[in-house]
Amino acid sequence: MGGEDKGLIPLAGRPMVEHVLQAVHPQVGSVVVSANRNRERYEALGYPVVADAVGEFWGPLAGVASAMRVARAPYLLTVPCDAPLVPGDLAAVLYRALRGEGADIAVAHDGERMQHAFALLSCRLLGDLWEYLAAGERKVQVWYARHRLVTADFSARAEVFANVNSPEERTAVERRLLGLSGPSG
């Protein structure tokens, strides 16, 4: 998307991240936004904003670790800002899978692959995550594999994981949002 901060790209009349926040807020006790750029613009949305506490752009796990540091709950739900079709029961489905299997991490599965950014993680993993990052590791899948992981089946609704990485995808997701929320004009 041309290097733009994807969370702030307009989508159906609002920044993309607002669609994500609107879907996530009722599912959790509190929300924290992980952002390394445009902090003031994200803070204006009314939620605490945390930047990566380690490294410079160490990837998504650095954001997860930073959010875990400030989390006031035993679990952290992660959702990317460029996937605004978040299901209203994401947290509940992930939690049931996690608790049902006694896992530390629950990840959404769309029927074809794991959607690693849509996860529920035990905050007890923070120490191990810091060690993993300090060792120079960055791969989400490799870190997940070190822990008890369960997938939650979202194959009947795989379209909710559509993310926006191009103008064409933005148009397709925007049409979907407008169709779900009322007449598209």
Token pair belonging to 16: 């993309």
pLDDT value of position 146: 96
- Confidence band of 184 (pLDDT split at 50, 70, 90): very low
CB 151 within 8 A of CB 107: yes
Contact indicator for 129, 58 with CB cutoff of 8 Å: no
Give the model's pLDDT for residue 46.
95
pLDDT recorded at residue 1: 52
Give the pLDDT confidence of 53-72 residue by residue, as tens digits: 776 667 899 999 999 999 99
Choose the weakest-confidence range: 18-22, 32-36, 163-167: 163-167
SS3 content of the chain, % helix, strand, coil (to 5): 45, 15, 40
Dihedrals phi, psi of 179, to nearest 5 degrees:
-70, -35
Q: Show the CA angle centred on residue 103, arms to residues 147 and 79, nearest 5°.
A: 85
pTM of the model: 0.91
Tokens of 2: 């041309």
| Banded model confidence at residue 185, pLDDT cuts 50, 70, 90 | very low
Centre a 10 Å sphere on the Cβ of residue 162 and count the other Cβ atoms it contains.
16
- Give the model confidence (pLDDT) of 109-151 as tens digits: 999 999 999 999 999 999 999 999 999 999 999 999 999 999 9
Nearest in space to 149 (alpha carbons), one of 179, 104, 100, 91: 104
* Domains identified in the chain and CATH numbers: 6-181 (3.90.550.10)
Contact 103, 176 (CB under 8 A): no
- Among candidate residues 91, 80, 107, 100, the one with its CA nearest the CA of residue 26: 91
**Mean pLDDT confidence for 34-39:** 92
For residues 47-68, one letter each, b for 16 or more C-beta atoms within 10 angstroms of the residue's C-beta and e for the rest, the string is: bebbebbeeeebebbbbbbbbb
